[in-house]
């Protein structure tokens, strides 16, 4: 007899049970190389990645081939191509500014707007390809469109890749992720194989909501973790001030929002295990740390930094689950094991998205969320 996952919209606040050190993978010092203007030869577009969301730009399709054919040069290519995107966009707006007051101003305004939209689409694809690259490093393919995972009317995702998806978290974080699984799905650690593979029913739209919320949870996890590590690495004169209640003066020139989102940890993306803490500094469990957040701080850590990321999540979820109208809300027969695979992927997606934003922002300034 099939059990059913509650169709009630997930309680967003209950899903925030993050902990420290979410990732063991990172963008190392090769991202980005110093020589950004050297010519690069993109690979022909022969791709069999079977992604739910196909790249929509020529750059995205080319990068997907680089991931497959020559992953060791991936960040070099990203660097060169992002600089080219910036140059093309700036050149279009420079021509528009130069034409002001002339009969061609209207034409160049339209061209500049089209170029801006084209560049934004390309950058969304770059973010997506960086996320894909990080999944490829742990040998986990993204789940394709759910319609491709149906076998005899039942949704099953094989192989599960649970071990690989859990391996990017340290034990403390993994415990928090498992609590998230319990909150979102009713999954319990230590469940028998029979329970994990027993038939389970869930509405398509509800599953889509859980997946999207889990992406934001992973993003929040990374942001709050880096914020805590930053506070713990600051001068001892601040040790007696409660965590989460101050902004160090030495970072005020960068803006409090950047500090709270952990953007000032290092000049390149860093695993949390690499952050140096001062000897004798009292460690703070992230669970307690996050509990001390006020509403504003929680929202700041959970809020996506860029419009491009918000748009990418929306497109990815629609490609994976289909449109979210009332006609596309069928009951899906699946198992807890497959649901767990989807949620673990979503959490990792959110963590990788945070890093991808940092990587792209060093060359191309993303549009901040309002």
Terminal CA-CA length for the chain: 47
**Selection from 314, 353, 338 nearest residue 217 by Cα:** 353
For residues 272 and 194, membership in a common domain is answered with yes
pLDDT tens per residue, range 230-288: 887 875 555 555 545 555 444 443 343 333 333 333 334 434 333 334 443 445 577 77
pLDDT for 147 equals 84
Q: What backbone torsions phi and psi does residue 333 show, to the nearest 5 degrees?
A: -90, 120
331-335 vs 3-4, strand pairing mode:
unpaired
Q: Which residue has the tokens 């090769």?
A: 30
pLDDT for 254 equals 37
**Selection from 259, 257, 165, 258 nearest residue 214 by Cα:** 165
User: Where is the domain boundary, 105, 137, 169?
Assistant: 137
For residues 127 and 170, membership in a common domain is answered with no
Its pTM stands at 0.76
For residues 105 and 203, membership in a common domain is answered with no
For residue 154, being part of any structural domain is answered with yes
Residue 151 has a CB neighbour count (10 Å cut-off) of 8
For residues 102 and 156, membership in a common domain is answered with no
Helix (H) or strand (E) holding 242: none
For residues 267-295, one letter each, b for 16 or more C-beta atoms within 10 angstroms of the residue's C-beta and e for the rest, the string is eebbbbeebeeeeeeeebebeebbeebee
Rounded CA gap, 194 and 200, in Å?
A: 12
Q: Which two tokens stand for residue 241?
A: 């001030």
For residue 370, being part of any structural domain is answered with no
- Residues 89 and 366: beta-carbon distance below 8 Å: no
- Residues 146 and 345: beta-carbon distance below 8 Å: no
Q: Which residue has the tokens 């945070």?
A: 354
For residue 46, being part of any structural domain is answered with no
For residues 19 and 65, membership in a common domain is answered with no
Q: Which two tokens stand for residue 253?
A: 């020139």
pLDDT for 238 equals 56
Region 312-327: mean pLDDT is 88
For residue 239, being part of any structural domain is answered with yes
Looking at the chain, the whole-number percentage of residues with pLDDT higher than 90 is 46
For residue 174, being part of any structural domain is answered with yes
For residue 237, being part of any structural domain is answered with yes
Number of domains within the chain:
2
């Amino acid at each position: 007899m099939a059990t059913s996952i509650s169709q009630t919209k997930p309680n967003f606040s209950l899903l925030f049970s993050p902990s420290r050190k979410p990732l063991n993978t990172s963008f190392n010092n090769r991202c980005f190389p110093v020589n950004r203007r050297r010519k690069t030869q993109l690979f022909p577009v022969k791709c069999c990645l079977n992604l739910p969301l196909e790249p929509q730009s020529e750059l995205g399709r080319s990068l997907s081939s680089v991931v497959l054919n020559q992953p060791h040069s991936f960040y070099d290519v990203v660097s060169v191509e992002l600089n080219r995107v910036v140059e093309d966009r700036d050149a279009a707006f420079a021509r528009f500014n130069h034409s002001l007051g002339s009969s061609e101003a209207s034409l160049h305004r339209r061209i500049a707007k089209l170029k801006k939209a084209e560049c934004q689409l390309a950058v969304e694809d770059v973010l997506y390809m960086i996320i894909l690259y990080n999944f490829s490093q742990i040998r986990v393919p993204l789940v394709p469109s759910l319609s491709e995972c149906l076998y005899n009317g039942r949704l099953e995702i094989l192989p599960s890749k649970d071990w690989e998806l859990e391996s990017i978290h340290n034990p403390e974080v993994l415990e928090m992720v498992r609590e998230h699984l319990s909150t979102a799905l009713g999954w319990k650690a230590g469940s028998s194989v029979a329970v994990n593979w027993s038939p389970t029913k869930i509405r398509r739209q509800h599953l889509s909501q859980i997946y999207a919320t889990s992406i934001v949870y992973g993003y929040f996890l990374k942001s709050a973790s880096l914020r805590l590590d930053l506070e713990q690495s600051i001068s001892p004169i601040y040790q007696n001030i409660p965590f989460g209640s101050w902004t160090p003066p030495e970072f005020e020139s960068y803006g409090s929002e950047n500090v709270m989102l952990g953007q000032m940890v290092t000049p390149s993306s860093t695993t949390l295990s690499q952050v140096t803490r001062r000897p004798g500094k009292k460690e703070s469990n992230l669970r307690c740390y996050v509990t001390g957040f006020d509403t504003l701080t929680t929202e700041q850590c959970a809020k996506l930094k860029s419009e491009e990321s918000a748009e990418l999540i929306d497109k990815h979820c629609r490609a994976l689950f289909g449109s979210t109208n009332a006609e596309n809300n069928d009951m899906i027969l699946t198992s807890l094991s497959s649901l767990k695979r989807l949620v673990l992927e979503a959490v990792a997606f959110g963590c990788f998205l945070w890093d991808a934003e940092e990587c792209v922002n060093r060359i191309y300034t993303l549009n901040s969320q309002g």
